[in-house]
Amino acid sequence: MNGAGAAAALPPWLDFFTFREPNVRLILAGCVLLGVSAGAIGCFALLRKRALLGDALAHAALPGVCAAFMLTGTKDPVIILAGAVASCWTGAIAIDLISRYTRVKEESALGMVLSVFFGAGILLLTYIQHSGNAAQAGLDKFLFGQASAMLDRDVGTLAIAAALMLAAVALAYKEFKVVSFDPQFARSIGLPTRSIETALATLTVLAVAIGLQAVGVVLMAAMLVTPAASARYWTDHLGRMVLLSGAFGALSGAIGTYVSYLGPRMPTGPWMVVAATLVFTASLLFAPGRGLVARVLLMRRLRRKTAEENILRTLYLNGERAGAMDAPCSMTRLMQYRAMNAWALERTLARLKGRGLVREGEDGTFALTGAGVERGARLTRLHRLWELYLTRKLEIAPDHVHDDAEEIEHIITPELEARLVAALNDPAEDPHAQRIPPGPGAGNVVV
């Protein structure tokens, strides 16, 4: 497959990108088309919690491939595709029947169809091989796929199938969306949910069938699950998810082709799966919002905010007790009130000082600034409003409400505050007979 004559000057890793070789173009097109369609269809399977259906169906395609060959004696892509589709369909129906009419659970049904159909496929495959039919050579390539053996007509079939599938997704997008997210709602508004589910299953079957040649029955499952799972990290919007997943699938197809171009012994299908998994790992770690790093940072920010607010409130209570809001408080006292280690306390105080909410006295004590008093008052107000709400409306004993208020004071929004004030008739005292600091628009809040 290495570069031919003329521009031998280019090293293979670069030569690939000239796309001069028709063979490279063909395989690349095949793998990218496959990646796009499997990625897009996989989203719906993932959202319907059927991510492993693709795995079962891909394995279930094998007996169909063999039977189609046995009946016709050719390896024509359309006939093989038809055989694969028929046998995937039988598998899908078997899974449905088993989980519906026996007490066997759905995931057991998936595993059984996967392994028994695959066993039947192996039985037929070995039967054909031992029968001495010379035309059978290459039939076993459907196990792991062999992208490099794809011909014009294979890629042509693939392109037509992929175009049909993507068109179906675009046309029935709204229906697929409703059925994927809320099948009960879909039924209630009169959508033919069974037919739509059948259509989705058919598309999965088609995606599997067209992937067989490049990726093979064993690894096709990955192309349906992994790009979709990666895309899920980046967005909550289905349309974007489908596009992203298709793009990830295409990227994996391209990388798989590239690697097997560079290393002649390297199989394309498995490298596509490895590439898709790398994309997945990057998404898992770095996607904004849902990614691991983003969530760890968010947690850290929340923990810091909580620690800061706790200190502000402690200083406020200290001021209340002393009768002067800017009464200083030593580190030792603060640590008695709050179960924080000295290091965390120092860092939190330093951050508060930096934002002008707390000032440090010369004797190493800390006191609230004017802005700090304001924040402390508001937090204390929320805390006490919540305590009062719990005792008055939920009739919880006053000595049981502190811990709950301690958590919720950090997250009560102004809207919720207004509703609490209205529900409690703008109270002045909490259940422990302590004054509730007045809010900004105290007294005239109407909900």
Partner 1 sequence: MSNAAWVILIGSLASAACALVGCFLVLRKQAMMGDAISHAVLPGIVIAFLIAESRAPAPMLIGAGALGLLTAFTTEALERYGRLQPDASIGVTFTWLFAVGVILVSAFAGHVDLDAECVLYGEIASAPWDVWLWGGADMGPRAVWILGTITAANLVFVLLGYKQLKITSFDPAMAAALGINVTLWHYLLMAFVSFTTVGAFESVGAILVVAMLIVPANTAYLLTDRLSRMLALAVAMGIASAAGGYGLAALLDASIAGAMAVVSGALFVVAALFSPTHGVIFGYFARRHALVAPDEAAP
Contact at 8 Å (CB) between 62 and 122? yes
Q: Taking the chain, what is the end-to-end CA distance rounded to the nearest angstrom? A: 74
Coil, strand, or helix at residue 287? coil
Single out the segment in contact with partner 1 by CB under 8 A; choices: 10-18, 107-115, 376-384, 439-447.
107-115
Cβ at position 263, least distance to partner 1 in Å: 8
Coil, strand, or helix at residue 396? coil
Contact at 8 Å (CB) between 32 and 24? no
For partner 1, the binding residues in 111-170 under the rule CB under 8 A are 111-112, 114-116, 118-127, 130-131, 140, 143-144
Cβ at position 213, least distance to partner 1 in Å: 16
Contacts for 276-282: CB closer than 8 Å, 24+ residues apart: 276/222, 276/223, 276/226, 276/227, 276/230, 276/248, 276/249, 276/252, 277/222, 277/226, 279/226, 279/227, 279/230, 279/248, 279/251, 279/252, 280/226, 280/227, 280/229, 280/230, 282/230
Contacts with partner 1, 229-258, as mask; x by CB under 8 A: x--x--------------------------
Cβ at position 18, least distance to partner 1 in Å: 26
Contact at 8 Å (CB) between 149 and 141? yes
Residue 262 interacting with partner 1 (CB under 8 A): no
C-beta closer to partner 1: residue 114 or 436 = 114
Dist CA 15 CA 28 (whole Å)? 14
Structure tokens given for 119: 């066993």
Single out the segment in contact with partner 1 by CB under 8 A; choices: 147-155, 202-210, 218-226, 395-403.
218-226
Residue 214 interacting with partner 1 (CB under 8 A): no
Cβ at position 292, least distance to partner 1 in Å: 6
Cβ at position 188, least distance to partner 1 in Å: 25
Residue 107 interacting with partner 1 (CB under 8 A): yes
For partner 1, the binding residues in 40-79 under the rule CB under 8 A are 46, 49-52, 54-55, 59
C-beta closer to partner 1: residue 115 or 188 = 115
| Residue 2 φ/ψ region, left for φ over 0, alpha for ψ in the -120 to 50 degree band, beta for the rest | beta
Cβ at position 150, least distance to partner 1 in Å: 18
Contact at 8 Å (CB) between 430 and 401? no
Q: Helix-strand-coil percent breakdown of the chain, rounded to 5? A: 75, 0, 25
Q: Which residue has the tokens 């129906």?
A: 93
Q: Which residue has the tokens 């919690």?
A: 49
C-beta closer to partner 1: residue 104 or 170 = 104
Cβ at position 271, least distance to partner 1 in Å: 7
C-beta closer to partner 1: residue 41 or 307 = 41
Residue 352 interacting with partner 1 (CB under 8 A): no
Residue 91 interacting with partner 1 (CB under 8 A): no
Residues near partner 1, by CB under 8 A: 46, 49-52, 54-55, 59, 98, 101-105, 107-108, 110-112, 114-116, 118-127, 130-131, 140, 143-144, 218-219, 221-222, 224-226, 228-229, 232, 263, 265-267, 269-271, 273-274, 277, 280, 284, 290, 292
